[in-house]
Chains A and B, each alone.
Chain A
Amino acid sequence: MSVIDPRIHQVLDGELAPEAVPAELRRAVAQLVAAADLVAAPPSGPAASLESRVMAEIRRPTPTRARRVLRWLVTPHAIILRVRPAWSVAFAAVVAALTLFTTGQEGPELAEHEGIAQFVGRFPEAQSVHAVGTFNDWRPGSIALEDQDHDGVWRATVVLPAGTYEYMFVVDGERWVPDHLAERLVADNFGRENSIVIVRAARR
Chain B
Amino acid sequence: MRPWVSLALTGLLALPLAAQSVRGRLEGRIPSAAIPAVDSLIQFASQEGLPTEPLVQKALEGGAKHVAGPRIVAAVQLSLGQLRGARDLLVRAGDQPPVLPAELTTVAWALRRGLPEPLVERVAAALGRPPRAAAMHAVADLVAHRFDPDSAAGLIIGAVQDGVPRERLLDVSAVALQQVQRGHTHAEALATVRRQLPNLPAPSKPTRGTVAGARRPAPPAPP
A134 at the interface (CB under 8 A from B): yes
B221 at the interface (CB under 8 A from A): yes
Cross-chain contact A160 with B65 (CB below 8 angstroms): no
Nearest opposing residue in chain B for A139, CB measure:
B220
B9 at the interface (CB under 8 A from A): no
Cross-chain contact B60 with A107 (CB below 8 angstroms): no
Cross-chain contact B167 with A204 (CB below 8 angstroms): yes
Cross-chain contact A134 with B214 (CB below 8 angstroms): no
Cross-chain contact A188 with B210 (CB below 8 angstroms): no
Nearest opposing residue in chain B for A116, CB measure:
B206
Cross-chain contact B221 with A141 (CB below 8 angstroms): yes
CA distance A166 to B65 in the complex (A): 14
Cross-chain contact B210 with A189 (CB below 8 angstroms): no
Size range of the interface on B?
A: 35 or more
Nearest opposing residue in chain B for A162, CB measure:
B167
B24 at the interface (CB under 8 A from A): no
Contact with B along A151-182 (1 / 0, CB 8 A): 00000011110001010000000001000000
Nearest opposing residue in chain B for A132, CB measure:
B64
Q: Distance in Å from the Cβ of A180 to the closest Cβ of chain B?
A: 14
Given contacts A164-B137, A198-B137, contact A136 B217 (CB under 8 A): yes
Cross-chain contact A137 with B220 (CB below 8 angstroms): yes
Cross-chain contact A183 with B141 (CB below 8 angstroms): yes
Cross-chain contact B215 with A190 (CB below 8 angstroms): no
Partner of A138, one of B61, B208, B210: B61
Partner of B109, one of A139, A140, A186: A186
A106 at the interface (CB under 8 A from B): yes
- Of residues 194 through 223 on chain B, the ones whose CB sits less than 8 Å from some CB of chain A are 203, 205-206, 208, 210-221
Cross-chain contact B214 with A139 (CB below 8 angstroms): no
Chain B interface (Cβ within 8 Å of chain A)? 25, 57-58, 60-65, 67, 71, 74-75, 78-79, 106, 109, 112-113, 133, 137, 140-141, 144-145, 167, 170, 203, 205-206, 208, 210-221
Chain A interface (Cβ within 8 Å of chain B)? 105-108, 110, 115-116, 118, 132, 134-144, 157-160, 164, 166, 176, 183-190, 194, 196, 198, 200-202, 204
The 10 closest A-B pairs by CB, nearest first: A138-B64, A107-B212, A189-B75, A142-B217, A107-B211, A116-B206, A157-B214, A138-B60, A139-B220, A142-B218
